[in-house]
Chains A and B, each alone.
Chain A
Amino acid sequence: SQTIHQWPATLVQPVGSPLSLECTVEGTSNPNLYWYRQAAGRGLQLLFYSVGIGQISSEVPQNLSASRPQDRQFILSSKKLLLSDSGFYLCAWSKTEAFFGQGTRLTVV
């Protein structure tokens, strides 16, 4: 069966510090991968999606970047965090329906 792992679960980072969130998928090959952000009390905003290694599409201009160095690995990064980067970040994979990781709650202070 397929599983998706996302870590860390929570993170508190100072403004201006770098960020790296990692997501890995097991049990499937060549999935579509996604990073979503959910601000407090808000809906889900698609940040990045990838249909293959090295292929990244950005949905909104922002302070973040994504990379897919391996087929089942998706990384969300920032060189310098802003206060507005705080939120709940969810990684997902899909073939037909999408399945989500457990999320990372990021607080930038």
Chain B
Amino acid sequence: AQKVTQAQTEISVVEKEDVTLDCVYETRDTTYYLFWYKQPPSGELVFLIRRNSFDEQNEISGRYSWNFQKSTSSFNFTITASQVVDSAVYFCALNLGGNEKLTFGTGTRLTIIP
């Protein structure tokens, strides 16, 4: 069985600070996919990134960056120069392939203080 742990329940930072959201996963499979989703107050989950287990290269997209480390089973998400619009609940998730169901972490509520 797969498991995703997001130990940080809530984080608050002042605007323009950098913030890292932690994600630790468990799976016995060698092929798997990791995801991050953003849930703004409206409730809809917005897809941010998908990364497969064979690609440990870190990714940067604007102010967002992701650090995938298989050695520690972690897939952390960093927001640089945070903005108020980044306030949301962020979910890390895992599945075993494109047609497989997602296992979600419990989410981290991020509040950016203006």
**Which 8 pairs of residues, A with B, have the shortest CB-CB distance?**
A43-B106, A100-B45, A96-B98, A103-B43, A44-B104, A102-B44, A97-B50, A49-B101
Q: How far is the CB of B104 from chain A (nearest CB, A)?
A: 4
Residue among A44, A46, A102, A105 with most chain B CB within 10 A: A44
- Interchain CB contact under 8 A, B44 and A34: no
- Interchain CB contact under 8 A, A43 and B91: yes
- Interchain CB contact under 8 A, A102 and B42: yes
CB-defined A-B contacts under 8 Å, sample of 26: A32-B99, A34-B101, A34-B102, A42-B106, A43-B91, A44-B45, A44-B91, A44-B107, A46-B103, A49-B101, A59-B101, A88-B43, A90-B44, A90-B45, A94-B98, A94-B99, A95-B98, A96-B33, A97-B47, A97-B50, A99-B47, A100-B37, A100-B44, A102-B42, A102-B43, A105-B43
The SS class assigned to the A binding surface is: strand
- Interchain CB contact under 8 A, B47 and A98: yes
Contact residues, B14-48 vs A (CB, 8 A): 33, 35, 37, 42-47
* Interface residue A51 (Cβ < 8 Å from any Cβ of B): yes
- With the chains together, A34 CA to B104 CA distance in Å? 13
Q: How far is the CB of B46 from chain A (nearest CB, A)?
A: 8
A49: nearest residue on chain B (CB-CB)? B101
**CB 8 Å contact bits of A39-72 with B (1 = contact, 0 = none):** 0001110100101000000010000000000000
Residue among B33, B42, B47, B101 with most chain A CB within 10 A: B101
Q: Within 8 Å CB of A34, what residues of B? A: 101-102
Q: A97-B50, A101-B44 are in contact. List 8 more A-B contacts (CB 8 A).
A: A43-B106, A44-B45, A51-B99, A92-B45, A98-B47, A98-B102, A100-B37, A102-B44
Q: Within 8 Å CB of A92, what residues of B? A: 45
- Interchain CB contact under 8 A, A97 and B105: no
Residue among B33, B105, B107 with most chain A CB within 10 A: B107
